[in-house]
């Protein structure tokens, strides 16, 4: 009233409701109304009405999109808020449902072949439903495939890089065209909800395009010429490459490893995880349609303990690229190191083997942001990601508040069949995984306090999201990779202790920090021992080129996927020096 009596125009804001959203609303209005460009601010400056009502003028100097250019144009995910795109996804589910139960055979030397052994790939949401019947190759057929690759290698290594890259770019187009269908196959075969499978298709497309670009860059080589001498540094492919891929990213990871091997000129054999072999068969369809030559790429599903081991140890195989468990990865690493009779090279092994990833939440963190990030990082794809958050280390001042909000957020998660649009948490991959995770939950009940375990359907391989609190850093559930929807919440007294706890495992894959304290952020950047550190955001969902992915310690060996060093692992560097000072020329035979 006093301001009005003095002749000022006064606007009053009175947020109504709960404190937190009310404060957010008020702060937003204060920021908007006090900005130099604000209509409210300008109207208090006695400007002409015509100027106040005029349309905003473009300021080219402030348009960041004219100066900022993305390093790599990543494929866009599907916007499922768009009704037409959402309906397209649901139609794809019905289309794929009509194709369940078909047979998928290996592709060897350009031909689909019959096998003596078949397995059924089951829907983890409904194990009575057969997604497909997959033929598994024998050791003899593995030998045939390796010899076919050996025969195809000379021509493929000399195929121009632009042509090899063209196959990848064509494959990217085909993956985009079949996006909805591929998402549906993932929902049925590995229990991945549509929106999570969709991001995986985007990643597969990005791998194709990014590695095509990268190989064209590397193909230029390096020139270090001096007077009278040329020095050329170039790359050549290694030879025969075996890809052993996991089931938890059944499209993106095998595509990324396979096309990296192919575009660098290696003849490549893809042995997928048995439970995701139907999706690998779909990858095969795309690569064949994209124009990959016979023998250059081969689809060889088989038993890892027999066929996989045989290929790893084969003297004609030059490199093995693996993603999966630490146990299997270490065995591959050991077997590949043995020099076999007739073998004239040492094998290169790339192995990504998981993590026990932690997110630190300090006393300055935005708890609303932290809770949302932890929940998605821990329970996205039912916690079956090597990058998933399985530990959250919370500083004592905010521990109780964080636990209360986290518990209620987890309680709200929808657990159910992966094909249902409402599902946020689907099944785990199979009965063995379900049993192992349940055993860890029982261990957790002895080691710590159960905060919440969400109910899960009885039919199918379901485990409800589970949170333990007051967990000791040395507890089994805080040290061993569970690979399921189980989260351990650990209390720390200060930031140094939190960082020690986060670093206190054998793994170093991903990690996260929620903080608004600059010194904590800088300390985490310097001392958090992970390959991928995420600050004030979730720790899953690395994007090609933007966030190259991979860790160290027992999380794996090799350069980061989707990064500028990755293709170098599939190549041998060569250097050629020539003295070009004039010294005459030998006559050409037959010419006088």
The residues assigned a catalytic role are 352, 386
How far from 221 is each of 216, 234, 323, 570, CA to CA, in Å?
Answer: 10, 5, 29, 15
Q: What distance in Å separates the CA atoms of residue 328 and residue 322, rounded to the nearest whole number?
A: 9
For residue 250, which of 238, 261, 258, 240 has the smallest C-alpha distance? 258
d(CA 244, CA 268): 11
Residues 228/578, Cβ–Cβ less than 8 Å: no
Among 352, 353, 386, 387, CA closest to 569: 352
Cβ 406 vs Cβ 489: under 8 Å: yes
Could you tell me the two tokens for 402? 């964080």
> What distance in Å separates the CA atoms of residue 573 and residue 234, rounded to the nearest whole number?
6
How big is the CA angle at 137 (ends 133 and 139), to the nearest 5 degrees?
A: 160
- If we measure between CA atoms, which residue out of 224, 307, 234, 228 comes closest to residue 265? 234
C-alpha 389/C-alpha 61 separation (Å) is: 42
The owner of tokens 């693996």 is 322
Sequence-ordered strand ranges (E) for 371-506 = 389-395, 449-453, 466-469, 486-492
Residues 6+ apart with CB under 8 A from 144: 108, 109
CA 491 – CA 402 distance, rounded (Å): 11
Query: Quick one: angle between helices 194-219 and 83-97, nearest 10?
Result: 90
SS3 annotation, 5-67: HCCCCCCCCCCCCCHHHHHHHHHHHHHHHHCCCCHHHHHCCCCCHHHHHCCCCCCHHHCHHHC
């Amino acid at each position: 009233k006093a301001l009005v009596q003095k002749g000022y125009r006064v606007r009053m804001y009175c947020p109504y409701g709960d404190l937190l959203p009310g404060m957010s609303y008020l702060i937003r209005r204060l920021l908007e109304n006090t900005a130099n460009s604000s209509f409210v601010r300008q109207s208090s400056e006695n400007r002409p009405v015509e100027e106040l009502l005029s349309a905003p003028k473009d300021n080219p100097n402030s348009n960041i999109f004219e100066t900022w250019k993305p390093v790599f144009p990543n494929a866009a995910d599907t916007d499922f808020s768009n009704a037409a795109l959402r309906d397209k996804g649901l139609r794809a589910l019905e289309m794929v449902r009509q194709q369940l139960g078909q047979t998928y055979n290996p592709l060897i030397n350009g031909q689909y072949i019959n096998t003596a052994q078949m397995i059924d790939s089951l829907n983890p949401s409904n194990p009575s439903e057969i997604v497909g019947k997959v033929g598994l190759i024998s050791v003899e057929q593995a030998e045939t495939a390796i010899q076919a690759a050996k025969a195809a290698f000379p021509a493929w290594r000399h195929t121009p890089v632009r042509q090899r890259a063209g196959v990848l770019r064509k494959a990217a187009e085909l993956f985009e065209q079949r996006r909805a269908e591929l998402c549906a196959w993932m929902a049925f075969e590995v229990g991945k909800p549509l929106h999570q499978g969709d991001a995986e298709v985007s990643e597969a497309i990005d791998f194709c395009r990014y590695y095509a670009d990268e190989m064209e860059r590397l193909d230029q080589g390096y020139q270090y010429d001096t007077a009278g001498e040329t020095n050329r540094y170039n790359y050549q492919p290694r030879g025969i490459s075996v890809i052993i891929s996991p089931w938890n990213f059944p499209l993106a990871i095998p595509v990324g490893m396979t096309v990296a091997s192919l575009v660098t000129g290696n003849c490549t054999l893809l042995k997928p995880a048995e439970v995701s072999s139907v999706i690998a068969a779909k990858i095969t369809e795309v690569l064949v349609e994209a124009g990959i030559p016979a023998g250059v790429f081969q689809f060889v599903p088989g038993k890892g303990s027999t066929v996989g081991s045989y290929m790893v140890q084969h003297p004609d195989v030059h490199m093995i690229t693996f993603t999966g468990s630490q146990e299997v990865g270490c065995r591959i690493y050991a077997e590949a190191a043995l020099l076999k009779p007739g073998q004239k090279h040492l094998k290169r092994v790339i192995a990504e083997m998981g993590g026990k990833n932690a997110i630190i939440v300090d006393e300055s963190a935005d708890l609303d942001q932290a809770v949302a990030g932890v929940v998605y990082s821990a329970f996205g794809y039912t916690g079956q990601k090597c990058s998933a958050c399985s530990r959250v280390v919370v500083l004592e001042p905010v521990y109780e508040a964080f636990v209360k909000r986290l518990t209620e957020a987890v309680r709200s998660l929808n657990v159910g069949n992966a094909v249902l649009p409402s599902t946020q948490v689907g099944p785990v991959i199979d009965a063995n995984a379900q049993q192992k995770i349940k055993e860890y939950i029982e261990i957790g009940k002895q080691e710590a306090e159960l905060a919440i375990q969400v109910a899960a359907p009885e039919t199918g391989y379901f485990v409800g999201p589970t949170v333990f609190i007051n967990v000791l850093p040395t507890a089994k559930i805080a040290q061993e990779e569970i690979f399921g929807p189980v989260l351990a919440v650990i209390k720390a007294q200060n930031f140094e202790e939190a960082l020690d706890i986060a670093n206190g495992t054998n793994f170093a894959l991903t990690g996260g920090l929620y903080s608004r304290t600059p010194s904590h952020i800088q300390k985490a950047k310097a001392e958090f021992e992970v390959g991928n550190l995420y600050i004030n955001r979730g720790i899953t969902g690395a994007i090609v080129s933007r966030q190259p992915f991979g860790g160290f310690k027992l999380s794996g060996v090799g350069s980061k996927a989707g990064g500028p060093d990755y293709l170098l692992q599939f190549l041998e560097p060569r250097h050629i020096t020539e003295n070009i000072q004039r010294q005459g020329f030998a006559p050409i035979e037959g010419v006088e």
